[in-house]
């Protein structure tokens, strides 16, 4: 069995980028900016070295301030932390990509990003409104730009040197295949919803074939019904190994070869989500073979509208 400390410290090399991404990651989708700053600082001090951000979360300033405070204290070096952020749907036109990227770096107070992802494969009408809608209340999509157009602009960011790798978020296997087929620089990683109720095995197999890291968001099911952490298979394993159901689900994510993102504003939960155990092989087999529930909690892959992000602040 893998030693516990190795599991939480595991890094996955980027075949199509620079360096490696820590498998255990912290997501910054937190509504309150003060809570964002405190949680980010706590996560760094606990040991998290992978952070996921986004222009759309409207809190990059708070994340950047927390990181700057920790870096300047000298306890943690910038080069030891993997920071990813994302291009929002209203900035898919190639001429808008670089300004959006530079805006994120400025808010995060960083000289470079370890990875820049397209937040969703859907382009919205460009402008300052994150969710442009017509008279019917439906999102207005931008039909003047293709995902490949946007990808070419991200490749140019890598050429510029301040973006070390690029990827996609909320992407289907079909859309990922389209990009891989024509990319000059392949995606280093993709970020998708994945947990024991949505293992995405076909997508993961394709990523393995192509040398792409799959990073799972909502790895605990986002506390939605049916609750992943109340599944009898997960809870039985947790009792057997003396850990929480959350730690079991997160360990499963790492041991099957993915990275994950988990978010909390509670210090002991942040610590718990970092201190994951290694599971015995029979536990991994039980999760794969005995869990039959299948559910996607976020319909973003079908519309480009994330279900976990509040519409207004």
Which of the residues are catalytic? 57
> Hey, how many other C-beta atoms are within 10 angstroms of the C-beta on 295?
12
CA distance to 18, 36, 52, 66, 201, per residue, from 40 (Å): 24, 6, 10, 6, 31
Look at phi and psi of residue 106 and say left if phi exceeds 0, alpha if psi is from -120 to 50, else beta.
alpha
Before 226, cis peptide (omega within 30)?
A: yes
Angle between helices 94-108 and 60-73 (to 10 degrees): 50
Distance CA 148, CA 129 (A): 23
Distance CA 122, CA 23 (A): 27
| Those residues with Cβ within 8 angstroms of residue 262's Cβ, 6 or more apart along the chain or in another chain | 25, 26, 27, 219, 220, 246, 250, 273
- The SS3 assignment for 21 reads strand
- The SS3 assignment for 170 reads coil
Q: If we measure between CA atoms, which residue out of 69, 63, 62, 1 comes closest to residue 26?
A: 63
Distance CA 247, CA 253 (A): 10
């Amino acid at each position: 069995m893998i030693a516990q400390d190795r599991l939480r410290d595991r890094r996955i090399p980027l075949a199509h980028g620079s360096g490696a991404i820590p498998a255990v990651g912290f997501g910054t989708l937190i509504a309150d900016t003060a809570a964002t700053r405190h949680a980010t600082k706590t996560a760094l001090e606990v040991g998290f070295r992978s952070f996921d951000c986004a222009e759309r979360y409207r809190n990059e300033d708070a994340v950047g301030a927390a990181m700057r405070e920790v870096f300047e204290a000298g306890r943690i070096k910038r080069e030891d932390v993997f920071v990813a952020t994302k291009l929002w749907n209203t900035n898919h036109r190639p001429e808008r990509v670089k300004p959006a990227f530079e805006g994120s770096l400025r808010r995060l107070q960083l000289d470079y990003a370890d990875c820049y992802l397209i937040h969703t494969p859907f382009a919205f009408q460009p402008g300052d409104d994150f969710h442009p809608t017509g008279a019917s209340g439906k999102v207005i999509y931008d039909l003047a730009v293709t995902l490949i157009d946007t990808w070419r602009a991200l490749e140019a960011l890598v050429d510029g040197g301040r973006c070390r790798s690029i990827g996609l978020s909320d992407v289907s296997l079909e859309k990922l295949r389209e990009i891989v087929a024509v990319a000059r620089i392949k995606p280093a990683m993709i970020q998708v919803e994945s947990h024991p109720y949505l293992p995405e095995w076909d997508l993961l197999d394709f990523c393995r074939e192509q040398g792409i890291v799959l990073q799972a968001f909502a790895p605990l099911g986002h506390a939605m019904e049916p609750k992943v952490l109340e599944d009898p298979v997960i809870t039985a394993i947790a009792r057997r190994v003396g850990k929480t159901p959350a730690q079991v689900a997160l360990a499963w994510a790492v041991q099957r070869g993915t990275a994950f993102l988990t978010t909390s504003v509670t210090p002991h939960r942040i610590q718990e989500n970092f201190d994951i155990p290694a599971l015995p092989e029979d536990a991994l087999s039980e999760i794969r073979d005995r869990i039959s529930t299948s559910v996607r909690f976020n319909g973003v892959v079908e519309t480009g509208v994330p279900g976990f992000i509040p519409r207004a602040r």
